[in-house]
Amino acid sequence: MTGMLRQDLFDGVDTNVGVTARRGTTKARIERAALMLFARHGMDGVSIKQIAGACSISDGAMYRHFKSKDALGRQMFEAIHARLLDLVTANLQPDASLEDIARALTRAYCHLADTDPAQFVYHLTHRNYFIAASGDGGADPSDVMTACVAQAMERGEIPPGDPELRSAMALGVVMQAAEYSLYGRIQLPLAQHVETFVRAIMAVLRTA
């Protein structure tokens, strides 16, 4: 992503709320400080000293909670990744249709972007770091879409093709729009656009 993130996305953030840690604990404050810094500057652009300084603790105190910056980053990423999967699957029925899956994924990503932009930015900008680079980023909600697309192709509901490619194209409808929202190019909250996204996703999936 290029350009300047909307700074109002981070206004009024409760610095006592972390990602995996209990609210108000030192570990939660470390996670929130790191999350905000990583979202703005990327992991490579942030040092342990900067994270410690942002939550007013010593470098040594940082290492009592996390053995390294990478360990901190990975723990948060995998927790956010799992949270997205939970948001997708929480209300899905066993007989969910392709459109149901598309709607659930769309709502999950929009909810995260609307309720905790720092988590969304961090997840969006570090997927390659934790998934493509190592092949292991924890539970992946995009796998749900790919599997559902493959099954729909087998049933003849949508034209045949590469399920991974079609899934990536479909998810791009939401992810690119969400990225635009981070720079003020699309009106928030994203949740108000869910049905528009779903129609566009289904159009992509039905295209040969």
Q: Are residues 86 and 25 in the same domain?
A: no
Chain-centre distance for alpha carbon 65:
24
**Residue 208: CB atoms within 10 Å:** 6
**Residue 128 is assigned to a structural domain of this protein:** yes
- Residue 104: what pLDDT? 92
Q: What CATH number does residue 59 fall under? A: 1.10.10.60
Quickly state the pLDDT bin for 203 (edges 50, 70, 90). Answer: very high
Quickly state the pLDDT bin for 137 (edges 50, 70, 90). Answer: very low
Mean pLDDT (the chain, rounded): 88
Per cent of the chain over pLDDT 70 is 93
Cα separation, 138 vs 92, in Å, equals 20
Helix H, strand E, coil C: the string for 14-42 is CCCCCCCCCCCCHHHHHHHHHHHHHHHHC
Q: What CATH number does residue 180 fall under? A: 1.10.357.10
Residue 32: which domain range?
7-69
Q: Which amino acid is at 17?
A: V
Quickly state the pLDDT bin for 6 (edges 50, 70, 90). Answer: confident
**Residue 12 is assigned to a structural domain of this protein:** yes
Q: What is the mean pLDDT of residues 174-188?
A: 86
| Domains contained in the chain, number | 2
- Residue 179: what pLDDT? 85
94, burial (CB in 10 Å: exposed 0-12, middle 13-18, buried 19+): exposed
Tokens of 106: 């769309």
Tokens of 158: 């949508």
pLDDT tens digits for range 75-114:
999 999 889 989 888 878 888 899 999 999 999 999 999 9
Nearest to 180 by CA among 170, 161, 169, 193: 193
Tokens of 27: 């570990």
Nearest to 98 by CA among 142, 145, 139, 143: 145
**Please, what sign has the CA dihedral across residues 171, 140, 129, 163?**
negative
Which of 69, 94, 118 corresponds to the end of one domain? 69
Q: Are residues 139 and 200 in the same domain?
A: yes
Length, in residues, of the chain: 208
Q: Are residues 24 and 82 in the same domain?
A: no
pLDDT tens digits for range 42-86:
999 999 999 999 999 998 999 999 999 999 999 999 999 889 989
Cα separation, 68 vs 38, in Å, equals 14
Q: Are residues 82 and 174 in the same domain?
A: yes
**Residue 1 is assigned to a structural domain of this protein:** no
